[in-house]
C-alpha cells in the first residue's frame, strides 16, 4: 500500500515539475533578481538585506530550495565589492550545497557566473574563466525568459571583463556588445567606454560612450552604481585629455553619488579620491592634492572597520536565523520519518553521507581560508613594497593596512613625529637599505644616513641596538 502511494506521488511530482519551475521563475526568481539589482545599484544596503530575508522566508514556506540559494548568492555578491571575501565565500558555499543536486540549469548558470566573479576579485583569472565557461554551458540550451536573459547578460559581461583584464580587447568588446543587447541599465556602455579609453586608447569612441551614459544618468537624476561608474571614468577621460575643469566637475559629481551608494560600492571612494589627487597635482594645486590624499586616508581609517562590522553583524544575524530554521525543519522531518521504518533507514544512510561530505567540505574550507589569508597578505605586502619603490603618496596609508598597529606603536614612543618620519620608519620596517631609500626618494645616501641618525635620537634607540631590530621589535 505504501509503495503504491509513493509511486503515485512521484508520478504527480514528475508530471508537474516543469510547470512548478516556470511558476517559481515568474513569481519568485525574476521579481527577486530585479528588486535586488535595483537596491544594489542604488547602494540601498538595508533594503537589499531585508529583501533577501523576506524572500528566504518565502522560499522556505514554498519548499523552494533553489529560491533559498538565490538569496545566498545575492548576499554573497554584496560582500564582494567591500572585499569581505570570507563572508562572501560562506554564502557561495551555502548556495553551492543547495544547487549541487538541482536540475535547474539557469540557477546553476547564475551560481557559476557569480562564483566566476568571486574568483576574478581574488585575481584567480584561470579559475574565473573556467566557472564563466560552465555558466555558458548551463544556460545555452535553456528556454528564453526575462530571468534567463538577465543571467545571460551578466555571463556575457563577465566574459568581456575577463578578456579586458587579459588585455584581449577585441573579444572583450565583442562580449560587452553582446551583453549590451540584453542590458537596459547602461552598464555595458560604461564598460565599452572604459575599454576604448584604457584598452584601445580611442579617445573619440571613449568620449561618445562615457558622455552619453553619464549625461543621461545626470539628466535623470540617477545616483546609482551606473551613474557613479560613468561619472568616474568620464572624469578620468577628461584628465587624460587635459580638460581639467570638466574632469573636476565629473569627479566631484561621482564623489557626491558615492556618498549615497558607498554602503555597497565602498571601493569607489579610493578611485575617486585618488583621481582627484592626481587631477590637482596636474593642475599644480598641491594643497588640494594633499587634501584629497588625506581625505582618502581618513575615510578609510574611519569608516572601513565600522562598515564591515555592521555588515558582518547583519550577515551573522541572517546566518543564525537560517541555521535555527534548518534545525526546526530537521525536527519536522524526523517526526515524519518515524512513520516508516524503511524511509527512516534510507534517510539515516543519506544523513551519514551528508555528514561525511560536510566534514570533508569543512576541512577543505579551512584549508582554502588559510590559503586565501596567505595570498591576500602576500598581495598586500607586494603592493606596499611597490608603492615604496615608486615613492607613491598613498604608500603610508596602504602600509598601515598591511601592518596594523605598527605606526601607533611608533607614535607611542614619540607622538611628535612628522609624516615624513613615519614614512621613513615604514621603509626601515620593510628592511630597505639606506641606498635603496635614497634611490626611491631621490636624495643623497648621506642625507639618509643623517636622517637615520636624527630618527634614532627622536626614538631614543640605544647605540648598541640595530635600527632594523628595533622596528622589528615593535611588530
The distance of Cα 456 from the centroid of its chain, to the nearest Å, equals 42
Amino acid 372: pLDDT: 44
| Range in 252-266, 318-332, 392-406 the model is least confident about | 318-332
Q: What is the CA radius of gyration of the chain?
A: 27
Is pTM beyond 0.75 here? no
Amino acid 313: pLDDT: 55
Q: Which of 266, 239, 234, 265 shows the shortest CA–CA distance to 250? A: 234
Amino acid 139: pLDDT: 96
Amino acid 319: pLDDT: 67
Q: Which of 85, 74, 64, 80 shows the shortest CA–CA distance to 34? A: 74
User: Which domains can be identified in the chain, with CATH numbers?
Assistant: 185-316 (1.25.40.10), 371-473 (no CATH)
Could you give the CA distance from residue 448 to residue 420 in angstroms, rounded to a whole number? 12
If you average pLDDT over residues 156-179, what whole number do you get?
95
Instruction: Indicate the DSSP class of residue 464.
Output: T
Higher pLDDT, 395 or 356: 395
Helix ranges (DSSP H) in 82-202 = 85-99, 105-121, 125-139, 146-165, 169-180, 187-194
Higher pLDDT, 396 or 339: 396
**Are 400 and 421 spatial neighbours (Cβ–Cβ below 8 Å)?**
no
- Dig out the grid coordinates for 470 from the structure: 628595533
What's the pLDDT band for 354 if we cut at 50, 70, 90? Answer: confident
Amino acid 109: pLDDT: 97
What's the pLDDT band for 80 if we cut at 50, 70, 90? Answer: confident
Length of the chain in terms of residues written: 475
Could you give the CA distance from residue 266 to residue 311 in angstroms, rounded to a whole number? 12
What's the pLDDT band for 13 if we cut at 50, 70, 90? Answer: very low
**Are 459 and 470 spatial neighbours (Cβ–Cβ below 8 Å)?**
yes
Please report, for residues 58, 92, 114, 345, the alpha-carbon distance to residue 76 in angstroms, rounded to integers and kept in the order given.
19, 6, 9, 36
Q: Which of 251, 246, 297 shows the shortest CA–CA distance to 270? A: 297
Higher pLDDT, 54 or 324: 54
Instruction: Indicate the DSSP class of residue 356.
Output: H
Could you give the CA distance from residue 356 to residue 311 in angstroms, rounded to a whole number? 32
Amino acid 119: pLDDT: 92
Instruction: Render pLDDT for 304-330 as a digit per residue (tens, 0 to 9).
Output: 454 455 455 556 666 666 655 554 445
Amino acid at each position: 500500500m505504501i509503495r503504491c502511494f509513493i509511486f503515485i506521488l512521484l508520478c504527480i511530482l514528475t508530471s508537474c515539475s516543469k510547470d512548478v519551475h516556470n511558476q517559481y521563475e515568474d513569481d519568485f526568481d525574476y521579481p527577486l533578481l530585479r528588486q535586488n539589482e535595483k537596491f544594489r545599484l542604488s547602494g540601498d544596503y538595508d533594503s537589499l538585506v531585508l529583501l533577501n530575508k523576506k524572500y528566504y522566508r518565502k522560499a522556505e514556506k514554498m519548499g523552494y530550495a533553489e529560491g533559498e540559494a538565490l538569496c545566498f548568492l545575492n548576499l554573497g555578491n554584496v560582500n564582494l565589492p567591500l572585499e569581505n571575501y570570507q563572508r562572501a565565500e560562506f554564502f557561495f558555499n551555502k548556495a553551492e550545497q543547495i544547487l549541487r543536486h538541482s536540475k535547474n540549469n539557469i540557477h546553476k548558470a547564475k551560481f557559476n557566473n557569480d562564483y566566476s566573479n568571486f574568483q576574478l576579485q581574488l585575481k584567480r583569472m584561470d579559475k574565473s574563466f573556467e566557472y564563466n565557461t560552465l555558466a555558458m554551458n548551463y544556460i545555452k540550451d535553456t528556454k528564453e525568459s526575462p530571468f534567463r536573459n538577465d543571467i545571460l547578460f551578466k555571463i556575457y559581461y563577465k566574459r568581456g571583463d575577463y578578456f579586458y583584464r587579459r588585455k584581449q580587447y577585441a573579444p572583450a568588446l565583442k562580449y560587452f556588445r553582446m551583453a549590451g543587447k540584453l542590458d537596459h541599465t547602461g552598464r555595458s556602455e560604461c564598460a565599452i567606454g572604459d575599454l576604448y579609453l584604457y584598452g584601445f586608447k580611442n579617445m573619440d569612441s571613449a568620449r561618445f560612450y562615457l558622455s552619453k551614459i553619464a549625461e543621461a544618468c545626470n539628466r535623470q537624476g540617477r545616483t546609482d552604481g551606473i551613474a557613479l561608474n560613468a561619472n568616474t571614468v568620464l572624469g578620468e577621460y577628461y584628465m587624460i585629455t587635459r580638460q581639467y575643469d570638466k574632469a573636476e566637475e565629473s569627479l566631484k559629481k561621482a564623489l557626491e553619488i558615492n556618498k549615497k551608494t558607498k554602503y555597497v560600492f565602498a571601493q569607489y571612494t579610493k578611485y575617486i579620491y585618488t583621481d582627484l589627487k592626481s587631477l590637482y597635482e596636474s593642475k599644480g594645486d598641491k594643497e588640494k592634492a594633499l587634501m584629497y590624499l588625506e581625505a582618502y586616508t581618513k575615510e578609510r581609517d574611519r569608516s572601513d572597520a565600522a562598515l564591515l562590522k555592521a555588515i558582518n553583524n547583519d550577515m551573522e544575524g541572517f546566518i543564525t536565523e537560517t541555521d535555527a530554521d534548518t534545525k526546526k525543519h530537521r525536527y519536522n522531518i524526523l517526526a515524519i520519518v518515524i512513520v516508516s521504518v524503511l524511509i527512516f533507514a534510507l534517510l539515516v544512510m543519506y544523513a551519514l553521507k551528508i555528514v561525511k561530505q560536510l566534514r570533508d567540505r569543512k576541512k577543505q574550507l579551512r584549508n582554502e581560508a588559510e590559503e586565501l589569508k596567505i595570498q591576500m597578505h602576500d598581495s598586500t605586502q607586494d603592493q606596499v613594497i611597490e608603492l615604496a619603490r615608486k615613492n607613491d603618496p598613498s604608500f603610508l596609508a596602504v602600509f598601515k593596512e598591511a601592518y596594523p598597529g605598527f605606526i601607533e606603536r611608533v607614535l607611542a614612543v614619540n607622538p611628535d613625529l612628522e609624516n615624513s618620519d613615519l614614512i621613513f620608519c615604514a621603509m626601515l620596517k620593510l628592511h630597505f637599505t639606506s641606498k635603496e631609500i635614497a634611490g626611491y626618494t631621490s636624495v643623497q645616501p648621506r642625507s639618509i644616513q643623517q636622517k637615520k641618525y636624527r630618527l634614532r635620537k627622536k626614538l631614543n634607540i640605544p647605540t648598541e641596538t640595530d635600527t632594523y631590530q628595533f622596528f622589528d621589535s615593535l611588530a
